[in-house]
Structure 1
Amino acid sequence: MGITLNSDERLDTVPGSCYKIIQNIKKFSYGTDAVLLANYCNIKRGSKVVDLGTGTGIIPLLLVGRFEADKIYGLEIQKDMAEMAERSIILNKLQDKVKIINMDLRNVSDFFKKESFDVVTSNPPYMVNGGGIINSDDNFSISRHEICATLEDIVKSAEFLLRDKGEFYMIHRPYRIADIIWNLRKYKLEPKSICLVYPKIGKKPNMVLIKGVKRGNPELRFDDPIYVYNEDGSYTDEIYKIYRMNKEKNDG
């Protein structure tokens, strides 16, 4: 299908699939965190899924290539990002499986019925609004700082959307773990598993993957940690596996 790229856009391959994704070189692009989050999910066949703050649409594109979900929705407040994500969906002819909606995730009750989804995912802004340096470019600010939605907003929306025993998957920063667990329990999303992600052995973790279950029983487990890089700066075998890359090809 004919899709025209703007002058600042490029076409990338979605890791582990034949799908393509449109990205703007002047705006926020997806990173390793999105790939790790999609890999952490375990979505049953026929599930109804929604990604909160979908950005370029990378999470729906990763999930549709790995799981046989019935329908995946991507919610994005930035109109230009939502439009770009929608063009990626059209490019890959996935309109029957993925739908991008330009909306404020805080208003999910205006668009969806309560408890109508099996899985909610989110790769949200990590920084509390007012913390760190605010980029003058609104796209980068919204993507990195809690300007349009706080951590609590995201968890509250997930609670509204999820069916009983529905699953919530999120990636965030380790220094927010206390806030994450407090909010999850406040909104009846019982924390069930946590996985710490380390840049390399000997370094402190810089990402945390977490799964919550709506009205789940209290029982939290810690999964084996993930290390992204070896000492020589190359990807670890686990990251090659997650990205579904050919190690020999990429090393050579």
Structure 2
Amino acid sequence: MEPHSLVNGALRLVQPDEKSGLRVNVDTILLAHFARPKAGERILEIGCAHGSISLILAKRGTLLSPRGFDVTGVDIRPDLVELARANAESNGLKAEFVAADVREYKKIAPAQSFDRIVVNPPYDEAQSSRRSPSDGRAAALHGSCCTLEDIIRAAHYLLKNRGRLDLVMRADRTGELFALLDKYKTPPKIMLCVHPKPGERASVTLVEAMRSGSRGLAVEPPLFIRGEDGEETARLKAAYEIL
């Protein structure tokens, strides 16, 4: 498999083929851009797959500060974890990748181990969507290995008090997401709605929540993928920069 260039050439990653797992898409890039860790933070990516978000953050950390970020990625599929490790090595980046089931979150790390968790959860639930014939795509898209609640529950356990949870979710599930964040005492603090173009409803939302945080939500100006002219917007292009 040939490596693919990401974030305007800052990284080159080997990705799984389309039948065995999800590849980098615009949601991947937007989530990595939306998450803004501070130097020295200990970061966990849940469902890291081949390591794209983890390695974008690790690369950014090396450019921002000598301390960088302490990045760990977990995925239920050992084959993708091995691919993530190979991608880290080929890019000269320090990041740890572990095969783990988020439903057994107490085996991942002790309680309150991380300053920040980043996750691109399955957009559908297994019981309410048509399952992909590919096991890998079913896990990534349809929640065949975990539910959204499984992820929020694990994040609450693994995050430090006032630690941050960054995630991207299909816009029409935002209400469900907020209900789960409230249930697990990790209220949303920042929301960014992403629209295909002006005049169309949001397709996804990016949310940052805080474990044991106070209530109060800041809603960012909407991000449009394309403008009225049909061209990609400057804000979208900015997300493809490493810094």
TM above 0.5, yes or no, is yes
Match of 1:221 among 190, 193, 218: 218
Report matched runs for 1:34-49 at 5 Å.
34-49=28-43
In 2, Cα distance between equivalents of 1:192 and 1:147:
29
Q: Distance in 2 between matches of 1:157 and 1:226?
A: 29
CA contact (8 A) 1:10 1:24 kept: no
* Matched pairs, number: 235
Q: Matched residues, percent identical?
A: 27
Question: Is the CA contact (8 Å cut-off) linking 2:119 and 2:168 kept in structure 1?
Answer: yes
- Whether 1:112 and 2:109 are equivalent positions in the alignment is yes
Matched with 1:75 is: 74
> Residue 242 of structure 1 aligns with which residue?
239
Q: 1:17 to 1:117 in 2, by over 3 A?
A: farther
Q: Which residue is 2:55 aligned to? A: 61
Task: Tell me, in whole angstroms, the C-alpha distance in 1 between the residues paired with 2:29 and 2:98.
Answer: 21
> Equivalents in 2 of 1:13, 1:81: separation in Å?
18
Conserved? CA contact 1:17–1:65, under 8 Å: no
TM-score, length basis structure 1: 0.89
Q: Which residue of 2 aligns with 1:205?
A: 202
**2:4 match:** 12
Q: Which residue of 2 aligns with 1:84?
A: 83
Separation in structure 2 between the aligned mates of residue 142 and residue 71 of structure 1, nearest angstrom: 26
Corresponding residue for residue 146 of structure 2 = 149
- Residue 95 of structure 2 is aligned with which of 74, 92, 98? 98
CA drift of 1:14 comes to 2.1
Q: Does 2:27 correspond to 1:30?
A: no
Structure 1 alignment gaps of length 5 or more: 1-8, 246-252
Higher RCO, Cα 8 Å, sep 6+: 2
TM-aligned CA deviation for residue 57 of structure 1: 0.7
Q: Within 1, Cα distance between the matches of 2:50 and 2:195?
A: 25
SS of corresponding position for 1:73: strand
Amino acid at match of 1:75: V
Structure 1 outlier segments of 4+, above 4 Å: none
1:174 positional shift: 1.1
What is the deviation of 1:16? 4.2
Distance 2:170 2:146 in 1: 16
Cα contact 1:14–1:61 (8 A) shared by 2: no
Q: Does the 8 A contact of 2:44 with 2:116 survive in 1?
A: yes
RMSD over equivalenced CA pairs, Å? 1.5
TM-score, scaled relative to structure 2: 0.92
CA separation of 1:177 and 1:225: change in aligned 2, threshold 3 A: same
- Which whole-Å CA distance do the structure 2 matches of 1:32 and 1:70 have between them? 23
Output the amino acid matched with 1:88: N
The superposition leaves residues 125-154 of structure 1 with CA deviations (integer Å, 9 ceiling, x where unpaired) of: 100113232111111111101111110110
Mapped partners of 1:17, 1:77: distance in 2: 28
CA contact (8 A) 1:196 1:209 kept: yes
Q: 8 Å contact 1:172–1:207 — kept in the other structure?
A: yes
Letter in structure 2 aligned against 1:74: G
Are 1:50 and 2:52 matched, yes or no?
Answer: no
Q: Is the 8 A contact 1:105 1:154 kept in 2?
A: yes
**How does 1:157-236 map onto structure 2 within 5 Å?**
157-236=154-233
Question: SS of the counterpart of 1:144?
Answer: helix
Whole-Å separation in 1 of the counterparts to 2:9 and 2:160: 29
